[in-house]
Amino acid sequence: MPTDETYRRVTVFGLGGTIAMTTTPTGGVAPALSADQLIAAVPGLVNTGITVDVVNFRQTPSAFLTIDDITALASTIRDRLSGTDGVVVTQGTDTIEETAYLLDLLHTAPQPVVVTGAMRNPTLAGPDGPANLLAAIHTAVTPEARDQGCLVVFNDEIHAARRVRKTHTTNTATFRSANGGPLGYIVENRARLLNTLPHRITVPAQPSNDLHIPILTIALGDDGSTLHALADHIDGLVVAGLGAGHVPAHLVPALETLATKIPVVLASRTGAGSVLESTYGYAGSELDLLARGLTSAGYLDPIKARILLNTLLAATSDRATIHAAFGAAGGYRHPQTWPWPTELSKDRR
C-alpha cells in the first residue's frame, strides 16, 4: 500500500503567468521569474524531502498560450515521466480551466499532473503563489491523486480539471467546481482527497491551433448576424445557449443546416448545471435543437466543450463517435459510451 512517503520526486514545468511576474520598467508586471526562482521562493519546501526537477517550458501571460503549446507540453510531460512521481505546471490563471482540461484529455499515465498559479503577484502583500506551488507539489506526490488525470490546486483546494472554472477576476478563491465541488483539500501540508473521479477520459489525438471552433454566446435579442457571418468559415461550433440550452426560434434553421455539415455543440452560458434533454418543447428549446442534430455538452461549460471538440476532431471526423464522446464526457451517458478505452473506478465497472 503506497503511503505519502512512497512518491518523492516531482517535475515542475514553468509557463509564466502572475505567479512568475515582476515589475517592468514601463509599468505593471510581466512574466520574468524562472521556475527555479519560483521553487526557491517556497518556504519549507527543502524540509519536505521531496526532490523537485524543473523545466522552464514557456514564460508568457497565459492569454498567449495556444492549443499547440499545451499539446507540446503534454508530449514533453510524457517524455519525462520515467523517474517522476508527479508533475506540477505553473501558469497564468486566465486560461487554466482550458489548459488543465486539455492536459487531462491527453495525459494517460497514472502520475498526477497538477496545475497551479497565483492571483497575487510576487510584488504584492501576501502573494499566493508560493503556498499554491507547495500545495500542488504535495498533491503531486499523494498516492490518492494517482489515476485522477489532471488536477487544479489553488487556495488549498483540489479540483478536477474537467469541472473547474475561474469565477473571479482577483479573489484567491477564484477556482470553483460548481458541478460536484472540489475533490479534496490541502491540510497541514497533506493532500486529502474526499472524492475521486468515477472514470478517466483520454483521447488519442494531437489537437492543434488549425481548427477554427468559435463559441457563440447567445444574448437577449440575438439577431443571428454573428451566426450567419461565421457559418461558412468554421470546423465546429459551440453554442453557449441561454439557460438549459435555448436560442431564439429564428436561429433554429441556420443551426440545423450547420449541424448537417459540422458538429454543433449545445452548452449553457449559465456556468453551472447540465444542458437539459427533454423538458422544454418550443422552437429553439433544448428538445428542439437536439432533435435537429445539435450535440449536448451536458455538464461541460462552453469553454471546456470547445477544448473537447477540438481534441475529438483531431482524432475522428465521425459524427456518431463525437456524439457518443460528448455523452460520456458531458456526464449524461454512461462512461462506457466513451469511444476509447477508459479507466473506470471499481464501483462503476
**Interface with ligand ASP (CB under 6 A):** 17-18, 61-62, 92-94, 117, 119
**Catalytic residue at 51?**
no
C-alpha cell of 277?
Answer: 434533454
Q: What residue is closest to ligand ASP based on CB?
A: 92
Q: Distance between CA 151 and CA 157 in Å, rounded?
A: 10
Catalytic choice (3, 11, 18, 169):
18
C-alpha cell of 260?
Answer: 448537417
Q: Which residue, 93 or 142, is less far from ligand ASP as judged by CB?
A: 93
* Backbone angles phi and psi of 235, in degrees to 5: -95, -20
CB 114 within 8 A of CB 193: no
Q: Distance between CA 14 and CA 59 in Å, rounded?
A: 7
Least Å from the CB of residue 268 to ligand ASP: 24
Q: Which residue, 65 or 300, is less far from ligand ASP as judged by CB?
A: 65
Least Å from the CB of residue 177 to ligand ASP: 18
List of E strands, the chain: 9-16, 21-23, 29-31, 51-60, 86-90, 113-116, 150-154, 157-160, 165-166, 175-176, 184-187, 190-193, 199-200, 215-217, 237-241, 264-268, 295-296, 343-344
Least Å from the CB of residue 110 to ligand ASP: 29
Q: Which residue, 168 or 348, is less far from ligand ASP as judged by CB?
A: 168
CB under 8 A, 24+ apart: contacts of 231-236:
231/257, 231/258, 234/262, 235/211, 235/262, 235/313, 236/211, 236/262, 236/263, 236/264, 236/265, 236/309, 236/310, 236/313
Number of residues that this document lists for the chain: 349
Q: Which residue, 95 or 148, is less far from ligand ASP as judged by CB?
A: 95
Place of cell 452548452: 267
DSSP state of 206: -
Least Å from the CB of residue 157 to ligand ASP: 16
Task: Give residue 252's Cα distance to chain centre.
Answer: 30
Q: Which residue, 121 or 139, is less far from ligand ASP as judged by CB?
A: 121
Least Å from the CB of residue 92 to ligand ASP: 2
Least Å from the CB of residue 93 to ligand ASP: 3
Q: Which residue, 65 or 322, is less far from ligand ASP as judged by CB?
A: 65
**Positions marked active-site:** 18
